[in-house]
Structure 1
């Protein structure tokens, strides 16, 4: 008869996500995860099979709980330039704080793990595609409202904004500082000026 779990899988996943986010995939050992979560390696392996399985689950958890929550204003029906500006303002708020130097788990993983792991690369692509889709829709609404000029190619601008959001987190991770991040965002948003 199997023993009932003596830990909360949701809380364990959140804790593991934070460890990977701060330390990176390759710099995190299973012992680090055991110490942080308080769950034995056998307990973790029972649910996630191995460190990679836990990492993939952590990426999915990050996608649903952090990334989508931040992007929600841009994804809502009727979102436009105001919501895009608001979104980058929120990014500046978080990235400009001292704790922001851990960056974005998905952006960190794009350069650290995605080149070597197809499943991680697929998750990073989904992240970028969802951001791009949200920006395209908001820009389409902005065009219909006359908030952006006809010179703006919506597909190209959406791709640029998705890349700009990744750049914010690269700057944060590299300790570029609030001023540099603020300048990057200001120039990014100036491309939306009519």
Structure 2
């Protein structure tokens, strides 16, 4: 009969995700994960598999947790106001003291491993498609309210907003100028 796990798996995932997010995949060792999570090496392997599988679980955890920000776009209100609040929250997060200007976990992973690790690329693509779909649904509602203008399709606008979102996180890592980030958002808001 196997021993019951003596640690909180979600807490261990959160701690590992934070470490991978701060250091990146390549610079994080198994020993770093053991030290940071406080979970013994054998228990980590038994629960999460090897470092790559553990990392994939962390990407999945991030994806699950990151959707909370999209709740802003589901609230009642003027689409332009909701999108403003959404991107204000993104900028706050990207520049805030809790983030240490570390960017977006998914964007960082895409830049570090996206082109060389197929299982990670697949997860990043799924995340991007999911975000695009959420923006699409939001824009569809705005269109039904006659709050969109311009010649772009909903798909084009959705993809633009995905790119803007990722770009804000990337830019905040090296240029923590709120006005510069806000200027980019202002261009996007002009489409509504």
TM-score by length of 2: 0.90
Map Cα deviations across residues 6-47 of structure 1 (whole Å, 9 max, x no partner): 211111111001101111111111111111001111111011
Distance 1:161 1:145 in 2: 19
Match of 1:178 in 2: 178
Query: Residues 95 and 172 of structure 2 are in contact (CA less than 8 Å); yes or no, is this contact kept in structure 1?
Result: yes
Unpaired runs of at least 5, structure 1: none
CA contact (8 A) 1:114 1:121 kept: yes
Answer whether contact 1:73 1:79 (CA < 8 A) is retained.
no
User: Does the 8 A contact of 1:79 with 1:141 survive in 2?
Assistant: no
Question: 1:128 Cα shift?
Answer: 1.1
Give the distance between the partners of 1:175 and 1:39, measured in 2 at CA: 36
Structure 1 stretch displaced more, 171-180 or 12-21: 171-180
- Residue aligned with 1:62, SS: helix
Whether 1:144 and 2:158 are equivalent positions in the alignment is no
What is residue 16 of structure 1 aligned with on the other side? 16
Unaligned runs of 5+ in 2: none
Moved more, 170-179 or 38-47: 170-179
Q: Residues of 1 paired with 2:122 and 2:56: CA distance? A: 11
Residues 38-77 of structure 1, C-alpha deviations (whole Å, 9 max, x = no match) = 1111111011111111100000000001x21112232569
Contact 2:80–2:189 (CA under 8 A) maintained in structure 1: no
Aligned to 1:73: 72
Runs of 4+, deviation exceeding 3 Å: 75-82
What's the counterpart of residue 27 of structure 1? 27
Partner Cα separation in structure 1 for residue 77 and residue 183 of structure 2: 28
Q: Distance in 2 between matches of 1:151 and 1:121?
A: 32
Alpha-carbon distance in structure 2 between the residues aligned to 1:6 and 1:79: 48
Residue matched to 2:124: 124
Report the number of matched residues: 191
1:111 CA displacement: 1.1
1:16-95 equivalent positions in 2, closer than 5 A:
16-65=16-65, 67-74=66-73, 80-95=79-94
